[in-house]
Structures are given as structure tokens and as C-alpha cells.
Amino acid sequence: MKRKKPDPEVFVLALKQLGVEADNCIVIEDSEAGLKAALRAEIDTVYITPSLFTQHHCFDGASEVAEDATALLPIISQVLKSKARTTTTPN
């Protein structure tokens, strides 16, 4: 990587290499820079689990801010199911 977050380069490259559209992705981040990078890559489903070092950051624009990743599991499960339904074409 030539540029680091909040530049979206890392997310844009990952999307390209995986062959996935941004609207079919979710991101779990722990920092304001990571949130900004994901949003700039047009990934609008971003979950935040702040760390001791980032708990004071601004997380405006995040889909959800949770104390830890385990608190996000049920939420993310529902979002993934919803995304799967919208990307699946009927037979």
C-alpha cells in the first residue's frame, strides 16, 4: 500500500481483488481513519468496535458502534442475510 487510512486504497484494492461490489460488503473497524477509508471506498455498512486508544474518535457515519465484536454478531448476521437476499436472483 502506498497510502494508509483514511485513504480508501486498501479497501478499493481488496474489493477489486475479491471481485466484490462495495454494496455487498461490510467492514469492521476500530478507528476513525478506518471508518473514513471504508466510507470513501463507498462501503456504507461499517461497524465500529473502539479500542482503548480509539474510544475518543468520532464515529459519525458508522452503521453501529459496539463495545466489542461479540455484540455485533447478531446485527451483522441479520445484515448479511439481508444482503444475501437482495443479491440472490430468483430461479
Q: Cβ distance 21 to 12 under 8 Å?
A: no
| pTM of the predicted structure, to 2 decimals | 0.86
Residue 59 is predicted with a pLDDT of 97
CA distance 66 to 50: 8
- Residue 63 DSSP symbol: S
**Bridging pattern class, strands 64-65 and 46-48:** parallel
Least reliable range by pLDDT among 2-11, 22-31, 72-81? 72-81
| pLDDT confidence band for 69 (50 / 70 / 90) | confident
Evaluate if residue 91 carries a pLDDT over 90. no
Average pLDDT of the chain to the nearest whole number: 91
